[in-house]
Structure 1
Amino acid sequence: MALARKNLSPGTLVGAYQLAEVIGKGGFSLIYLAHDLDTGAEVVIKEYMPKKLARRRDGGRVVPMSAEQALALHHGRRLFFQEVQALASLSHPSIVRVLDFFLANDTGYLVMPNERGRNLSTYLQQRRGGVSTTFLLEVFVPVLDALALMHQHAMVHLDVKPGNVHLRHGNQPLLLDLGAVHPLNRERARGSQVVTAGYSPVEQYFSAAELGPWTDVYAVGASIRTCMERKTPPPALERKKEDTLVSAREALAGRYPGFLLEAVDWAMQMEAARRPRDASALLDWLRPHLERYRAGAVTGAVDSRPSGVEAH
């Protein structure tokens, strides 16, 4: 008889790795701290095990919850493997490295380095005051650059949020949760099962809606605003019914440079067509402002408004 979804026990051998402990659980995966038996290195392993589709049998095998879900589980496992292969071809300091990927227990396992640091969401919860402009730029400019590389390769992340940003020494960010990444040339590019209230734009809630790089751009804007206000923006569905969200330009005037507030407002436009088309477009607009800010010339005024952003 199939058992409810549960993790593999500490000490279990999976491939060339020995599991130490569970360090995370998501809707699609279980995450373990493990040791590489060949090198002795500490690694993180993500096991594909979707909560709504899979159970574990004795012996560790991952099986569908019911016969009706067998095809969906098989399909998801195949896409997981294909998507990790595609992502492994990307090289960027803010994209987690894929060390290994293999099949075992009738499912897939993604192996990544164990990067020391802290989670951005946890950092925000523990911090009493607001974060500085310098901190925001140190974190989110590299995140945008990493997303720009993904977008150039026709990939979208679809789950950018503070909880999926890992901060290493010097606030160097690392984008997490590669299992959410989807190539745009597959059917999962329409609609998505991955929705995070406050960070997912409205199109992500509907299976018939078209997703794209602009979807990630909204999530970046929402993540920056969360850091500024230390609270999550209202869910996009609530904004669709009645948008009471005051623009960052108005709500946070004087606390952050005008160009950064304008960028957040542009990224968080409800209509996808009014946002930057991808991360590169937002970065291109930001660059001259960043140069002036870093040179100490920014006073809070903005000399040009991104297209699609209304004056407030």
Structure 2
Amino acid sequence: MLKTGDRIGDWIIESPLGEGGMGAVFRVHSALSERVDAALKVMKPSLEPDARARFVREAEALSALRHPAIVRVMGFSEDTRRGLLYLVMELAEGETLKRRLERGPMPLPEALATFVPLAGGLEHAHAEGISHRDLKPSNIVLTPDGPCLVDFGIAAAAQSGDLTGKGHLGTLSYLPPEVFRGERAEPRSIDVYGLGLLLNEALTAVHPFPLEAGLTPAAALATVGMRKLQQPALDPGETAPEPLRKLIRAATSPDPRTRPDMALMHRVLASLLERRGGAAAPAAAGAESPRVPAWSPPPDRTMRVPDPVSPIGSRTGSTTSSHVRRRFR
């Protein structure tokens, strides 16, 4: 698609950072100065007739997000000669959460210091009508300045309808159970479930829905779907404070109607951090861990789940799940 030295807009390609279901990401520098770095995401061409208009709507919405825990969109444009739409984002560098968890679970203070800003960033995005919809460890970067959410490449704006057309885009292991029941999941509820799953994974360093290598997309869908439909709400265990266990159980509930919203998740996590005399600080501060690009190629690829998914062990049909606010004590 693009190679080192190519110019696209005002940017020069330096090297690839990764490739996902929606596009490829490159490290770039300004055509005027090699000291100005950024990440440039080139969207894969789409045959859908409204793809360009939808890209513009989403890029406009993402450009309006301003939060320390969300990678900033610096601009977007179109390379008409190549027929490529692209986003330019700040370059977030640090250790990904995926790499961090390879060393073991996070102690409670580190987990809270990491997830309070993340929940705050997602609360901000939801308030602006934007949902991420692809939360996973490789999309969270632990920068020296704190955790940062990257790759809103399949984000959904409330005013733009169904961004992905027919089906759900996401990473199978982190999609909520209602997707596998053939329901159309509410985007904010997808984020709530994903953050709850990630928090549980951070505290335990165990992912409950691993995918074996070599599975075909259909086999992976069936395997994860069966596990999702059989798995009750997640629980990190007795070593975690009871309010945190309750929050994770609520966020990962199989019933999306009983999940909290992101604002409530943020408040509960911030309260737990405050009670322990902590503050939301850079989670990777002082850690002698390898610095890696924000978009190192992840093995957990984003893919499309057909919608409706043929329910596994349940009635065939499609229902619309609703998102309700739940009081949490």
TM class, shorter-length: 0.7 to 0.9
TM-score by length of 2: 0.73
Q: Which of 36, 41, 49 is the equivalent residue of 1:46?
A: 41
Identity of matched residues, % = 25
CA deviation map 1:66-90 (0-9, x unaligned): xxxx3x1x42333222111111111
Name the CA distance, whole Å, in 2 between partners of 1:184 and 1:202.
21
CA deviation map 1:125-184 (0-9, x unaligned): 2x1x321111111111101001101111121110111111011015x1111112111112
The letter for the 2-side match of 1:8 is L
The letter for the 2-side match of 1:163 is S
Query: Is 1:223 equivalent to 2:208 in the alignment?
Result: no
Say which SS state the counterpart of residue 29 (structure 2) adopts. strand
Corresponding pairs, count = 266
2:161 aligned residue: 187
1:161 aligned residue: 136
Query: Is 1:242 equivalent to 2:237 in the alignment?
Result: no
Say which SS state the counterpart of residue 172 (structure 2) adopts. coil
Q: Using the TM superposition, give the Cα deviation of residue 110 of structure 1 relative to its aligned residue in structure 2, in angstroms.
A: 0.7
Name the CA distance, whole Å, in 1 between partners of 2:166 and 2:115.
26
Say which SS state the counterpart of residue 8 (structure 1) adopts. coil
2:291 aligned residue: none
Name the CA distance, whole Å, in 1 between partners of 2:147 and 2:117.
7
Q: Using the TM superposition, give the Cα deviation of residue 188 of structure 1 relative to its aligned residue in structure 2, in angstroms.
A: 1.1
Partners of 2:178 and 2:254 within 8 A in 1: no
The letter for the 1-side match of 2:230 is E
Name the CA distance, whole Å, in 2 between partners of 1:242 and 1:122.
28
Q: Which of 220, 232, 238 is the equivalent residue of 1:253?
A: 238
CA deviation map 1:169-222 (0-9, x unaligned): 15x111111211111233316875322123111234577514132221100010
Q: Using the TM superposition, give the Cα deviation of residue 228 of structure 1 relative to its aligned residue in structure 2, in angstroms.
A: 1.9
CA separation of 1:9/1:152 partners in 2, compared to 1, >3 Å: closer, same or farther? same
Partners of 2:233 and 2:253 within 8 A in 1: no
Say which SS state the counterpart of residue 253 (structure 1) adopts. coil
Identify which range, 174-183 or 74-83, moves more after superposition: 74-83
Q: Which of 250, 255, 258 is the equivalent residue of 1:271?
A: 255
Gaps (5+ residues) in structure 1?
1-6, 55-63, 65-69, 296-305
Q: Using the TM superposition, give the Cα deviation of residue 239 of structure 1 relative to its aligned residue in structure 2, in angstroms.
A: 4.4
Partners of 2:115 and 2:269 within 8 A in 1: no
Greater gyration radius: 1
2:282 aligned residue: none
Q: Using the TM superposition, give the Cα deviation of residue 107 of structure 1 relative to its aligned residue in structure 2, in angstroms.
A: 2.1
Q: Using the TM superposition, give the Cα deviation of residue 240 of structure 1 relative to its aligned residue in structure 2, in angstroms.
A: 4.9
2:302 aligned residue: none
Partners of 2:27 and 2:40 within 8 A in 1: yes
Query: Is 1:174 equivalent to 2:148 in the alignment?
Result: yes
Q: Using the TM superposition, give the Cα deviation of residue 238 of structure 1 relative to its aligned residue in structure 2, in angstroms.
A: 2.6
Say which SS state the counterpart of residue 93 (structure 2) adopts. coil
The letter for the 2-side match of 1:177 is D
1:12 aligned residue: 6
Gaps (5+ residues) in structure 2?
210-222, 279-324
The letter for the 1-side match of 2:28 is A
The letter for the 1-side match of 2:18 is G
CA separation of 1:239/1:174 partners in 2, compared to 1, >3 Å: closer, same or farther? same
Q: Which of 171, 174, 180 is the equivalent residue of 1:196?
A: 171
More helix by share: 1
Partners of 1:161 and 1:223 within 8 A in 2: yes
Partners of 1:191 and 1:205 within 8 A in 2: no
CA separation of 1:77/1:204 partners in 2, compared to 1, >3 Å: closer, same or farther? farther
Q: Using the TM superposition, give the Cα deviation of residue 38 of structure 1 relative to its aligned residue in structure 2, in angstroms.
A: 2.0
Query: Is 1:214 equivalent to 2:198 in the alignment?
Result: no
Name the CA distance, whole Å, in 1 between partners of 2:201 and 2:75.
34
- Which structure ranks higher in relative contact order (CA pairs < 8 Å, sequence separation ≥ 6)? 2
Partners of 1:274 and 1:308 within 8 A in 2: no
Partners of 1:161 and 1:199 within 8 A in 2: yes
Query: Is 1:283 equivalent to 2:266 in the alignment?
Result: yes
